[in-house]
Amino acid sequence: MLYLDTAASYPILPEVRQQLMNTFESTYANSASSHKLGEESATAINKVRELLADSIGAYASEIIFTSGATESNNIALKSLLLGKELPENKKHIITSQIEHKCIFAICDYLENIGYEITYLRPNEHGIITTTAVNDAITEQTALVSIMHVNNELGTINPIGEIGEICFNNNVLFHSDAAQSYGKLEIDVDDLNVDIMSFSAHKIAGPKGIGALYIRDLRKKHLLPVIHGAGQEEGLRGGTVATPLILGFGTAIETFPAHYDNFKKIMAKQHLITMLDQNSIPYQINGGTDVLAHCISLTLPSTDVSLLIRDNENEFCLAQGSACSSKEIEASHVLTALGLTRELADCTLRISFPLDIELLQINKLVQAIKKATK
Ligand SMILES: Cc1ncc(COP(=O)(O)O)c(C=O)c1O
């Protein structure tokens, strides 16, 4: 089975698996306990906190661990806005039409309690432009939330410039970096980011663990998402998941080198060459500034449903993002780009695994050819 859905989730790296096994065996004490083993757990967790902070130019005190990017996005928007951090009149949020669905769900909730939301449309290349953000900011704008890399297209938003606009307008800037972290350089100061969300399973770490960066966290008045016994700066209670955090740490340390090696395979270029050689009509959604492992491919002459059905034991392929693939409606990202329902229906999101081989891509192209008129 060829797994082509790493944008939804990577299989864990062998190094991560080993770390998890070791930690389940040995680092089992509650990190809040004051005995020796408890302190060892707390120290190990804080090392990963430092590792993540160092990798993005932040302080360890500005990082909290969460269950993943969905929870991080919830804390980013709800805890800040509902935590008496901002003046009462600041009730406007700017986000985009191509965010992950969890941002829409959070914004729906905030809209119901009196916030006004502006959803920016991407340009024809799937990018949220600085002009769009600049034009949408008003006196009431509290926060701008624009993802770093889109999960269906792999496109990279100009978040450094967007962050600068926010900074100049005294507006908080949040970016969902679930898809970019470990694949692109991130420095929260260079990018003018105030809040950033991360997820371990997008860098071949364990599922169920992520993190949130909040600039000057300890000086902020934030509403907890889970009221508990004070863990993670009182923002999300519950015993801290030591094994998952240590597995995340190993992914932080090892994934970038694996990804650099993967890039040398030039998998996407090979796929495009093979499509051309086989005269298969296609259109690539999103511009040229796209991550190496991801491609959104519209195949107008191919029966994509047939392709997926006939090859369900050969390839794991996604139409749109994982969260929406069981829904009948067309991908919100593709419709925001202006694709018709018909074209959206014959679009594949292919995201390559780290160890893909060119011969496997040839096999995929042969299967596509078979399903093409
Ligand atoms: C951009 C983006 N944000 C958020 C999420 C949700 O992440 P998690 O599964 O860690 O909650 C995903 C993953 O599907 C994503 O791609």
Average predicted confidence (pLDDT) for the chain: 95
Task: Report pLDDT for 324.
Answer: 52
Reply yes or no on whether the pLDDT at 327 is more than 80: no
Tell me what the mean pLDDT of segment 297-319 comes to: 94
Residue ranges and CATH numbers for the domains of the chain are: 2-8+263-370 (3.90.1150.10), 14-254 (3.40.640.10)
DSSP letters for 70-129: HHHHHIIIIIHHTTT-S-TT--EEEEETTS-HHHHHHHHHHHHTT-EEEEEPP-TTS---
Residue (of 270, 277, 265, 268) closest to 369 by Cα position: 277
The reported pLDDT for the residue numbered 6 is 98
The pLDDT score that the predictor gives to residue 329 is 80
Residue-wise pLDDT for 12-22, tens only, equals 999 999 999 99
At 144-163, the pLDDT tens digits run 999 999 999 999 999 999 99
Task: Encode 266-297: b = buried (16+ Cβ within 10 Å), e = exposed.
Answer: ebbebbbebbeeeebebeebbeeebbbbbbbb
Q: Which run of H or E residues covers position 296?
A: strand 294-298
What pLDDT, in 10s, does the model give residues 77-103?
A: 999 899 888 888 999 999 999 999 999
Kind of pairing between the strands at 294-298 and 2-3:
unpaired
Mutate to test the pocket of ligand 1, among 5, 70, 150 (most ligand atoms within 8 A of CB): 70
Calpha distance 154→349 (Å, rounded):
9
- Cβ atoms of residues 178 and 99 within 8 Å: no
Percent of the chain with pLDDT over 90: 91
Q: Which ligand 1 atom sits nearest the alpha carbon of residue 147?
A: 1
What integer pLDDT is reported at residue 250 of this predicted model?
A: 98
Q: Is the pLDDT of residue 320 over 70?
A: no
Q: According to the model, what pLDDT value does residue 87 have?
A: 87
| Complete DSSP assignment for 336-348 | HTT--HHHHHTEE
| Torsion angle of the four alpha carbons 37, 42, 48, 49, in this order, in degrees rounded to the nearest 10 | 180
Atom 7 of ligand 1 has which residue's CA nearest to it?
69
Lining residues, ligand 1, CB within 6 Å: 68-70, 100, 102, 147, 151, 176, 178-179, 199, 210, 323
Q: In a 10 Å sphere around its CB, with 0-12 CB exposed, 13-18 middle and 19+ buried, how is residue 60 labelled? A: middle
Q: How far apart are the CA of 39 and the centre of ligand 1, in A?
A: 31
> pLDDT tens for residues 29-82?
999 999 999 999 999 999 999 999 999 999 999 999 999 999 999 999 999 899
pLDDT band at residue 7 under the 50/70/90 scheme: very high
Report the separation in Å between the CA atom of 58 and the middle of ligand 1, taken as the mean of its atom positions: 22
Are the beta carbons of 333 and 321 closer than 8 angstroms? yes
Dihedral sign from CA coordinates of 106, 212, 290, 191: positive
Residue 213 pLDDT exceeds 70: yes
Q: Whose CA is nearest to atom 5 of ligand 1?
A: 69
User: Which atom in ligand 1 lies closest to the alpha carbon of residue 71?
Assistant: 11
Whether the per-residue pLDDT at 322 is higher than 60: the answer is no
59 alpha carbon, distance to own chain's centre: 21
Task: Say yes or no to pLDDT of 325 above 70.
Answer: no
**Alpha-carbon gap, residue 248 to 244, rounded angstroms:** 6
| For residues 268-288, average pLDDT | 96
Q: 103 C-alpha vs ligand 1 centroid, how far in Å?
A: 10
Rounded (5°) CA angle 269-275-306: 125
Ligand 1: distance of its center to the CA of 199 in Å? 7
- Burial tier of 161 (Cβ tally within 10 Å: 0-12, 13-18, 19+): middle
Q: Is the pLDDT of residue 179 over 90?
A: yes
Yes or no: say if 116 and 139 are a contact pair by the CB < 8 Å rule.
Answer: no
Residue type, 82: L
> Which sequence positions are flagged as catalytic?
323
